[in-house]
Amino acid sequence: MKIGKQSWRFENKVYIQETATSVGPLEAKGPLGKFFDVRYDEPYMGQKTWEQAEIQLIRGTLQTLFNKSGLHEKDICLALCGDLVNQLVPSHYAFREFNLPFLGMYGACATGIQSLLLSAVLVDSFQANHVIAGASSHTMTVERQFRNPVEYGGPKPETAQNTIMGAGLALVSRKPSPVRIESATAGIIVDAGQKNPNDMGSAMAPAAAQSLMQHLDDLGLNEDYYDMIVTGDLAKCGTPVFINILKQKGIEVEDIHSDCGNLIYSDKQKVFSGGSGAGCCPVVTFGYLCDLLKHQKVKRVLVLATGALLNPLIMQQKESIPCIAHAVALVSEAE
Amino acid sequence: MKIGKQSWRFENKVYIQETATSVGPLEAKGPLGKFFDVRYDEPYMGQKTWEQAEIQLIRGTLQTLFNKSGLHEKDICLALCGDLVNQLVPSHYAFREFNLPFLGMYGACATGIQSLLLSAVLVDSFQANHVIAGASSHTMTVERQFRNPVEYGGPKPETAQNTIMGAGLALVSRKPSPVRIESATAGIIVDAGQKNPNDMGSAMAPAAAQSLMQHLDDLGLNEDYYDMIVTGDLAKCGTPVFINILKQKGIEVEDIHSDCGNLIYSDKQKVFSGGSGAGCCPVVTFGYLCDLLKHQKVKRVLVLATGALLNPLIMQQKESIPCIAHAVALVSEAE
């Protein structure tokens, strides 16, 4: 049911029935490594190009989702997915091998949660059942497309983030599971005038704050309703900006806030300000946060995925960076 | 209501309440020119870069939609839009000026109809009302991104299509209007092994045929249920491929088939095989076809939008072209 200006509350019990996650070697060695289903030990994932590697990342995750859920292509109503590569080529090439209705999604690093939001809305209204939602990213496809090929060895400032190698998919349905989707909020595009594409965390923080405030307002909640509010991905530079914007509005989230870009790597890993990429929030949410909910280590989590809606050409034209944040609330129904 | 493998039938009366379309000079001079709301007489649309021109194309169309409908930002539940530029930059930069929940869509030239399909599903299930759906394309942003800048003067083969300059938006709601959305079918990704990015019409034809057959099967209809079946955009090269695939399956559509890429230009205009681009099907559908339905010149139209899901990099890697087609059925309720 639509509620307030930007939100939905799901009255008909919508669940994350199953999840599948795959990551690259750096993410596998990080503190959340054990929560991921597939861990590649080399970045080409057995393929010949970086794009084919990302296609394999998605293809393998989808096969894992089918294996774990026991479902087949014919059981799936719809797949909603995307990635950061131009024209969503990895998603399209991975999904062409499967006989599934497909709709391409794009919201930069918020793509996976945008897909999850729409899936929940469709399942809640009985317009679909068994919807696959998610997103992927691969460090190497993204570096050479948005910045420079990694092989050039160009330096990056400490405010930059490391795009993760990972794909996360969720199967959304009405079949009871320990993780229920309770509500969701679709973001508006917020441009705070930031022009530095090497500090996207700070650029995205105002959009994250806007969506959180609207979410609380639409649903009539206080921030302490949630045990965790998890942004994805503000990383080290964006996190204090987010906390401070909210503090000025009288909303204290510091004690319950985590960020996917901070969670996925340890402080010893060389990842500049932290992780990012369209795969980051999905693998952390579907791998780690769903595990916490399943084991009742937390009761209620708000995932607040952020996206920077730029491309390299528009940055060369001296534009600022519009950003967006979409929120999905997950609650534990574990017994 | 979900019906069959890939389709929905809208039981709760969903309408295209209002439409807005804008086109560039070549499209304005074409046979459908008079059906478009805004006709630019120069391709920069008063802006300094091609990307800013496409942003203006969308911004102006959105303002026209608000003016024609008498609605304001606060009345809109959600906007679902996209375009062909990397990371949907024109859509994101146009929509950042409006305070609307936004979800980015991508299905190449099927983007606008993908958005219309999702909007109808959301409105039918009372999960949203007043949803904006559509897409845009601009010849110059697309040429320099997918091929070469037009300024180079590189030759193109006659099988190529001309990406149109245009943006089309629809306002989908439950308010009765002469154009009702009756049903829709989401496509699966079909790759027939075609590798020539200069003949996308032929590459997309098998996907269009698959979605049409599935649509008829899901809804239990014969092709003669529709007065018009309008593909977008197979143009001159793809049209006979589409007709022939169907003929082999015993489905005769030649007499009722039109194509947006053929309709938008006259034979005298130099556009190779015909028009294409994410804006083409939306401007023809929302400008021309909705006008035919309003004036009862046709009773039932199936719009079958096609998309080629490639990018230049994956073509350099010698891959074939996966394609998709999404269908939306429009019926006249004019009195």
Task: Give the distance from residue A293's alpha carbon to the nearest chain B alpha carbon, in angstroms.
Answer: 27
CA A217, A207, B94, A163 dihedral sign is: negative
pLDDT digits 0-9 by tens, B131-179: 999 999 999 999 999 988 888 888 888 888 999 999 999 999 999 999 9
Q: Which residues contact A202 (CB under 8 A, 6 or more apart)?
A: A159, A194, A196, A237, A238, A241
Q: How far apart are the CA of B190 and the nearest CA of chain A, in angstroms?
A: 6
Pick left, alpha or beta for residue B272 (phi over 0 → left; psi -120 to 50 → alpha; otherwise beta): left
Is residue B282 packed enough to be buried (19+ CB in 10 Å), middle (13-18) or exposed (0-12)? buried
Cut 0.95: pTM above it: yes
Question: Does the pLDDT value for residue A130 go beyond 90?
Answer: yes
pLDDT of res. B148? 86
Which residue among A89, A102, A319 sits closest to B314, beta carbon to beta carbon?
A89
Give buried/exposed letters for A24-38 (b at 16+ CB in 10 A, else e). Answer: bebbbebebeebbbb
Cβ-Cβ contacts under 8 Å, A189 against chain B: 92, 95-96, 98, 102
B 163-222 residues inside an 8 A Cβ radius of A: 186-191
Nearest one of B136, B164, B138 to B51, comparing CA atoms = B138
Angle at B69 between CA B64 and CA B72, to 5 degrees: 85
Cα distance between residue B145 and residue B107, in whole Å: 17
pLDDT tens readout for residues B47-58: 999 999 999 999
Q: Which of A77, A71, A40, A78 is nearest to A57 (CA)?
A: A40
* pLDDT tens figures, A6-63: 999 999 999 999 999 999 999 999 999 999 999 999 999 999 999 999 999 999 999 9
A78 at B interface, C-beta within 8 A = yes
A72 pLDDT higher than 90:
yes
Spatial CA neighbour of B146 closest among B275, B312, B273: B312
**Is A105 in contact with B101 (Cβ distance < 8 A)?**
no
Residue in the structure block whose two tokens are 């420079």: A148
Contacts of A1 in chain B (CB under 8 A): 126-127
B6 shares contact with chain A (CB less than 8 Å): yes
Taking an 8 Å cut-off on Cβ atoms, the answer to whether A313 and B89 are in contact is yes
Is A122 an interface residue toward B (CB < 8 Å)? yes
8 Å CB contact of A313 and B51: yes
The list of chain B residues with pLDDT below 70 reads none
Task: Say yes or no to pLDDT of A153 above 90.
Answer: no
Q: Do A189 and B310 touch (CB under 8 A)?
A: no
- Taking only Cα atoms into account, the Rg of chain B, rounded to an integer number of angstroms, comes to 18
Nearest to B188 among A101, A118, A124 (CB): A101
- Which chain B positions have a beta carbon within 8 Å of A122's beta carbon? 121, 125, 127
Check if the beta carbon of residue A7 is closer than 8 Å to that of residue A123: no
| Residue B309 distance to chain A (closest CA, Å) | 7
Q: Between chains, do B89 and A310 touch, taking CB under 8 Å as contact?
A: yes
Mutate to test the interface with A, among B49, B314, B326 (most CBs of A within 10 A): B314
Longest dimension (CA), chain B: 55
Chain B residues in contact with A143 by the CB 8 A cut-off are: none
**Cβ-defined contact of A186 to B319 (cutoff 8 Å):** no
Mean of per-residue pLDDT scores for chain A? 96
pLDDT category, A148, cuts 50, 70, 90?
confident
Between β-strands A300-308 and A323-332, what pairing exists: parallel, antiparallel or unpaired? antiparallel
Provide, as residue numbers in chain A, all residues whose Cβ is less than 8 Å from the Cβ of B114: 103-104
Contact across the interface for B102 and A49, Cβ inside 8 Å: no
How many helices (H) and strands (E) in chain A? 11, 14
Please tell me the distance in Å from B257's CA to the nearest CA on chain A: 24
